Amino acid sequence: MLATFNIKIPKNQTAAMQLLQLYMQSGHYYWISGVVARTKLHRLVAKLNAFRIARDAPGRAYDKTKGVASTHLVVFEQGDDELLWILVGTAGKEGLIDREQIDIGTIYDARLAGQHLRFKHYELLHTEKRIKQVRDTTWTWRIAPQRFKEHEAFIVQLVRQRDRDGLNTELAALAAMQQFSGVRGQVLKLFAETKKLSMKFKLGEVTVPTLPYMTRLPIYAEPATMLKSLMDT
């Protein structure tokens, strides 16, 4: 249990999403998530220790030679008393899909349609890279389909109501999203639809925000926040 206390906590939502993206790229396709009250985090971690979540890099490398799964716990503070947790893992013994392991709920495979890893209103997708003359794939976040449709409907409503202030607020909110390549492509599509609709309904020309490019940032603060601090708070 003491080693588990030293699991690092991503410094913000973007960092948590980047970390999960890295885990997918390294084959941690299986996942389960939930929400836990801060006062019950001790109990959850004690249960998840069965999946060897505190193993360090050398330990995981050794485990791999023995066919033992690698499992990581990601915890994100989404409120004063509420924590979002996501457990991701590879195939192998003592892992999430080992039938001899303890039952912690339904395990999903992020590679399959309908089972993509979800984080708030986003989902992680394995897709082709959008680079000319390069045939390769990557993991990227996108706005979950249902949420994307909601933004589409909201933009249509705002344009029909000729609510320019509301429309500018919505466009700014879209630009403020974590601009992973998948999200960025969707936001640009929503911007294009907004311009088209504004002309159709004679709202006039709409200026859309300039989107920043996502860059790889440090995942942890310096010094890093440890899991133990969330338990003690």
Kindly report, residue by residue over 201-216, the tens digit of the pLDDT.
988 889 999 998 888 8
Q: Would you call 74 exposed, middle or buried from its count of C-beta atoms within 10 A (0-12, 13-18, 19+)?
A: buried
Residue 228: CB partners within 8 Å, gap ≥ 6? 5, 6
Q: What is the pLDDT of residue 199?
A: 92
Rounded mean pLDDT, 51-64: 95
The overall pTM is greater than 0.85: yes
Average pLDDT along the chain = 93
